[in-house]
């Protein structure tokens, strides 16, 4: 089974920046074990509406140097706010910029979530007929795309006619859009190998779409 990132949540982690360098405390915190977690990095800096891209890149590299397993799905910087005795002496926070970033993170999260690995008890099991289990399973959309090309063609026809593929993607994986697209594959295709190719292309196109949306 392919090892996919579990996309149950996104960890937004960051810290303040002084003179274009992130505070050491934030770097130390990010040195904790964030392996296989969806981490979004942000830097609160003094560059107001247009934080310097070079600073963001440099600080991201500094964070990653202490945690080689960390692979952030996004990194951005925003103007910050400095409070002294309860009063803002410096406030360059742009709420719209933060909101736009959050929307983009939502799109990334959605793509990652639909490519996650389901629990072992919820994997798709390929049969060629009732009580004739092939022993081949798929635990994610990516793995399904691989297995649909190698299972006996009788299995493809058996499950397609019963709409098992659509049900699994909609109720278990949570990808209603892919379920709808599989529904549109011509049910009157008499060549089972052509049916396999059509299904494989439909699933692979969806994977490509989801991966692009999460880049």
Last residue within a domain, chosen from 113, 135, 168: 113
Residue 1 lies in a domain: no
Instruction: Output the six-digit token pair for 170.
Output: 């909609």
Last residue within a domain, chosen from 113, 131, 166: 113
Confidence (pLDDT) at 214: 63
Per-residue pLDDT reduced to its tens digit, 142-157:
999 999 999 999 999 9
Residue 190 lies in a domain: yes
Residue 140 lies in a domain: yes
Strand partners, 18: 21
Q: Does residue 63 contact residue 107 with C-beta atoms inside 8 Å?
A: no
Per-residue pLDDT reduced to its tens digit, 164-183:
999 999 999 989 999 999 99
Range of the domain at 178: 120-213
Residue 181 lies in a domain: yes
Structural domain count, the chain: 2
Confidence (pLDDT) at 4: 38
Confidence (pLDDT) at 180: 95
The CB-side HSE value for 188 (13 A sphere, CA atoms) comes to: 0
């Amino acid at each position: 089974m392919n090892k996919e990132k579990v996309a149950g949540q996104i960890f937004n982690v960051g810290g303040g920046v002084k003179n274009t360098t992130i505070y050491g405390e934030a770097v130390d915190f990010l040195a904790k074990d964030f392996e296989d977690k969806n981490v979004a990095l942000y830097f609160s800096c003094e560059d107001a509406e247009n934080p310097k891209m070079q600073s963001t890149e440099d600080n991201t590299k500094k964070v990653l140097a202490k945690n080689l397993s960390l692979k952030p799905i996004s990194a951005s910087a925003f103007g910050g706010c400095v409070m002294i005795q309860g009063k803002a002496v410096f406030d360059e926070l742009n709420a719209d910029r933060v909101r736009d970033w959050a929307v983009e993170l939502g799109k990334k999260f959605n793509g990652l979530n639909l490519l996650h690995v389901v629990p072992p008890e919820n994997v798709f099991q390929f049969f060629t007929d009732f009580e004739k289990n092939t022993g081949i399973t798929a635990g994610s959309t990516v793995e399904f795309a691989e297995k649909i090309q190698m299972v006996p063609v009788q299995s493809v026809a058996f499950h397609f006619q019963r709409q098992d593929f659509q049900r699994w993607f909609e109720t278990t994986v949570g990808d209603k859009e892919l379920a709808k697209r599989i529904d549109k594959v011509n049910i009157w295709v008499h060549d089972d190998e052509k049916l396999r190719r059509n299904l494989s292309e439909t699933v692979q196109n969806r994977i490509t779409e989801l991966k692009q949306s999460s880049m």
